[in-house]
Amino acid sequence: MSSNALHVPVMLQRCLDMLAPALARPGAVVVDCTLGLGGHSEALLRTFPEARLIALDRDPAALKLSGERLAPYGDRATLVHAVYDELPEVLARLGVPRVQGILFDLGVSSMQLDEAERGFAYAQDAPLDMRMDQTTGISAAEVLNTYPPGDLVRILRTYGEEKFARKIVDAVVRERAKEPFRNSARLVELIREALPQAAKRTGGNPAKRTFQALRIEVNGELAVLERAIPAAVAALAVGGRIAVLSYHSLEDRLVKHVLAAGAETTAPPGLPVVPERYQPRLKLLTRGAELPTEEEIAENRRAAPARLRGAERIREEVAP
């Protein structure tokens, strides 16, 4: 199956419009921090013919497919095997001090969801892996089989916002003592049995929140994002823009906090004139988070939970 058939980029036109004022100038550099199957990257290269693209992904399989897709753009596209919190090191290595545009699409790529052996999807039986880079780190099965019960409850509550975390973990601990978890179907079945009847009737697949929580833990997603968004803001040139698509409230809250903090004055209250070093560094480009249109959701159900926030760099850091 071709990468094009696998991937419909979320809120594509809105992302392009948001970044356009920064990327229309010759020599602009744009970073796609979450390359995936290259849908956003290809559109950036096509829409801004003067721009150079640097694209990051931790998944070697995604880099291979995207490399084929972006090959027609030659040396305008530089693909790098890296996690997005490594952006400062990547830019330093490439000799790029500042960039004009940065895009994050924090969703799990269609390829990872659709390929059963990756173990991301709760709708089909597969090995419980969930690593975005299968060359490193521990799998979801290892988390389930080895973490203390208290840690599992914390992960499900914090990362999955799962109200019945304790019930699910009690069942997991009971079952793993009999036989370690290896495949997703057994976990899905266990969750169905552990949840009260009423909870199974609402909110889609009852395993969804647990699978999200395990995926975030396995890939360290929130810790990575916590480092990545401030690093990305710091990499923007004045006039540069950042656009971030997130898919659950934990990510969105984190992005909102970093961008909002950059758009506020840091001056002590009561100063008659605010010195330059206390002035806001960012201007917000969205009021709250923008949502996909109903038409887009009808065409691409994976767009439904998306939230888009953006900001423009309006001032350099000034040393105190």
Instruction: Find out whether 105 is annotated in a ligand binding site.
Output: yes
Q: Is 84 annotated as a binding residue?
A: yes
Please report the sign of the dihedral spanned by the C-alpha atoms of residue 67, residue 72, residue 78, residue 83.
negative
Neighbour-count burial of 106, counting CB atoms closer than 10 A to its CB (0-12 exposed, 13-18 middle, 19+ buried):
buried
Q: Is 124 annotated as a binding residue?
A: no
Q: Is residue 124 a contact partner of residue 36, using CB atoms and an 8 Å limit? A: no
Give yes or no for a contact between 53 and 28, defined as CB atoms under 8 angstroms apart.
Answer: no
Q: Compute the distance between CA of residue 36 and CA of residue 228 in angstroms, rounded to an integer.
A: 17
Structure tokens at 288: 């709250």
Tokens 């309006």 — which residue? 314
Helix-helix angle 208-219:184-194, to 10 degrees: 130
Tell me if 112 is assigned to a ligand binding site: yes
Give dist(CA 245, CA 299) in Å, integer. Answer: 18
Structure tokens at 47: 């829409």
| Residue 57 assigned ligand-binding role | yes
The answer to the question of whether 38 is labelled as a binding residue is yes
Closest CA to 34 of 74, 89, 85, 75: 85
CB neighbour list of residue 234: distance below 8 Å, 6 or more residues apart: 88, 317
- Return binding residues: 38-40, 57, 84, 105, 112
- Return binding residues for S-adenosyl-L-methionine: 38-40, 57, 84, 105, 112
